[in-house]
Each structure stands twice: as C-alpha cells, then as structure tokens.
Amino acid sequence: MPKGLYIHIPFCDHICTYCDFPKLLTKGQRHAEYIEALIQELKLYQQNVGFSNLQSIYIGGGTPTALSVEQIQPLFDFLTEQIQMNQIQEFSIEANPENLTRDKIQYLKAQGVNRFSLGVQTFHESLLKRIGRKHQAQEVIQAVANLKQCGIKNINLDLIYAIPGQTLDELRDDLRQVISLEVEHISAYSLIVEEHTQLYLAYMRDQIELTDNEIEAKMYEVTIETLTEAGYEHYEISNFAKSKPSLHNQWYWKNETYIGVGLGAHGYVKGQRYQNTRSINTYIELLKDGKLPMIESHALTKEEMIEEEMFLGLRLLKGVNLKAISDKYDVNIDEIYGKAFEELIQKGYLEQKELNVRLTPSGLLMANEVFEQFLLSI
C-alpha cells in the first residue's frame, strides 16, 4: 500500500528560466476545472489503491501557493474528508517567498500542513534575475519569520549552485545567509540546464556560459563542508537536516510505492511506474470521462526493481543493506553485483562495512557514474 501521496499544482505567477516541471502561467487558466479533475483522479486512486497506509502528503508544483484560498479549498476539503489526517506524519507544501503571507500560512496550517519548502535558490539579486526568479532576498527572510511566528518549525529552503556566472564567494555567502535563518532542512542542488527551457535556449545561442565541472565539484564540496560544520546532517546527496529528514522524499529513495496525481505527475503503485499527461486540456477531459490521465505506464521486472533499489538507495549517505535487499527479492546481491562492487571499491567510490554499502566522499562527486554500474550489471 502506498505510503506517500504527491499532488501537482502546475500554476505559476511567472516561469523561471531553468524550470522543466509541468507548469502554466496562473493568469487565464482553468483553475476550478483543474482542481475538480484533480479530485476526480484522487477518487479513482482511493477506489483502486486506497489511502489507508498513507503517512505523507506533498503538494508541489508549479507554485501551489500561487492559488488563492478559494481556488484550492475544494482540494483540502476532499483530503480532510477522505484521509485520516491523524495518520499523516508529514504534510508538505512548496511555496515561493513572495506569495507566502501570514494569512495564507495560517490557512494552510489549519488544513494540516506542517512542513513548508521555500524556493530560495540564491540571495544574490543578479543571480535571481538570471534564473528568472521574482522574489528578493528580503522576502525570503520575511517569509521564514512569518512561518516561525505562525508556529511552523519544519521549514526547508532550496538552494541552487553552479548558476551561470556564480562565484564560490557568492555561494559561500548564500550558505552563510541560509544558515543564519536557522531552519530545519536545506536542499542544495546543482543547476541542470534542461532542454525546452529558456536557460537552455540561451545556452544554445551562446548567451550564457555554464559553470566549469571542476568549479561545480568544488561548490558541492564547499556546500557539504559548510552545512555539516553548521550542524546539518548530510543524509542524502542533495539534502541536509538538523533532526528531521524529509519523510516523503525518503519513500522515493527507499523505493517505496507512492501515488502521484496531477499534471505530469509520476507515481509508483502495484509494481508499476507511471506518468501523467502534461497537457491540461487532455488531463481535464480524460478525468471528466472517468479515465486516469496516464501517458505512460510500465510494470517493473524483478531485475528493474533490484536496479532501482540499489541506485536510489545509494543516494542516501547511510547506503544500502545488502542482506535486506537480498531477502526482499530472494536473490544473492553479491552474485549479481559482486564485480561492480569490487571495481567501485577499488576506485574509491564505494565502501563496504559488513552488509552495508555506501558512497564515499569521492563517490558522491561521481554518483552518476556509480549508479550507471548498477544499471549495466543486470
């Protein structure tokens, strides 16, 4: 039974230059119809899968807080009526600093939201403009203050490094400022230039220069060193926590099943990974006809499940327990991956202690190369 529920709200007041998630400008969209379709999709999963084992809800986007209280209220009405909210340990929502007012925080808190994730990215105005962010650094500080004044303790701040033109000193300043806000959780991601984004078009037109790989690696090392020295546990490749690692995201890394609903959402239910359409018109019309809006669904083989168990689990700094995986799938993991383990340990990318295997500091910098070995070994 799924432990997590992801809900996608695609609406944004503006489009960031680097964003490749399913998103639509808020103005002029079919908000009411979308929320109605979203509820219909939830009802289908309620009937076919059930919500009895849910422990986390994550509302992402897009920008969920771009919608007004009146626009999003029907969704919360359904959730609170159909899910035993006392079983939900973590209820997260993504927000932009510029539209997270105290009134909206109080409303969301009353609906059961107990974790807020703010898209900060950087505190430098020139870099914010470069990636299309509309907030200012002061609005981040005010949003965090508002959350704390409303009694919200579980706050995550997202940072992005390796922004074109960003220097190591600017990153160090971002880290200093984010630490000074004393939040529970920090996510720090290297900027990836995705196709079909404004930033990608600028790169193809030679209008921007991407960060050198060596500088990017140094930025990652500085991020780890600075945040761990400040008392944050580096528990996943890009995530740091004082005492509360993200429960919902751990379902992904531990290869647990979860329901994903909304435009472009992904899910993993009953051994099948699926993806929804990214077209809002198709999404709404399919659900009006009582059909799930999937564009792709794949039933994983046992081998694929084992692959995912390895490369997703290795994202966690504590690594994976080989006996647990062997028992779960009734296989001998050493027989399947023995050669890969030997080569990666010899390179200094993996270390093994008894039945546990995990990435080394060097392996963290070469994580994608490590993960590929487990895809090729099956």
Q: What is the pLDDT of residue 377?
A: 47
**For residue 193, how many other CB atoms are within 10 A of its CB?**
19
| Element spanning 99, H or E | none
Judge contact between 348 and 355, C-beta under 8 A.
Answer: no
185: which DSSP letter?
E
Q: What is the pLDDT of residue 196?
A: 76
Cα distances (Å, whole numbers) of residue 244 to 155, 250, 261, 310: 10, 11, 25, 23
Q: Which amino acid is at 18?
A: Y
Q: Give per-10-residue mean pLDDT for the chain (378 aa).
A: 96 73 74 96 97 97 92 97 96 93 96 97 92 88 97 97 95 98 97 75 74 94 98 98 97 96 97 96 97 97 94 96 94 91 96 94 95 75
| Element spanning 225, H or E | helix 213-229
Q: Which tokens go with 255? A: 């290869």
The gap from C-alpha 67 to its chain's centroid, in whole angstroms, comes to 20
197: which DSSP letter?
S
On the 0-12 / 13-18 / 19+ scale of CB atoms within 10 A, 354 is: exposed
Q: What is the pLDDT of residue 203?
A: 60
Q: How far apart are CA 173 and CA 180, in angstroms?
A: 11
State pLDDT tens for residues 56-97: 999 999 899 999 999 999 999 999 999 999 999 999 999 999
Q: What is the pLDDT of residue 376?
A: 56
Residue 62: name the closest of 15, 129, 130 by CA.
15
**Bridge partners (DSSP) listed for residue 115:** 92, 154
Q: How far apart are CA 360 and CA 367, in angstroms?
A: 10
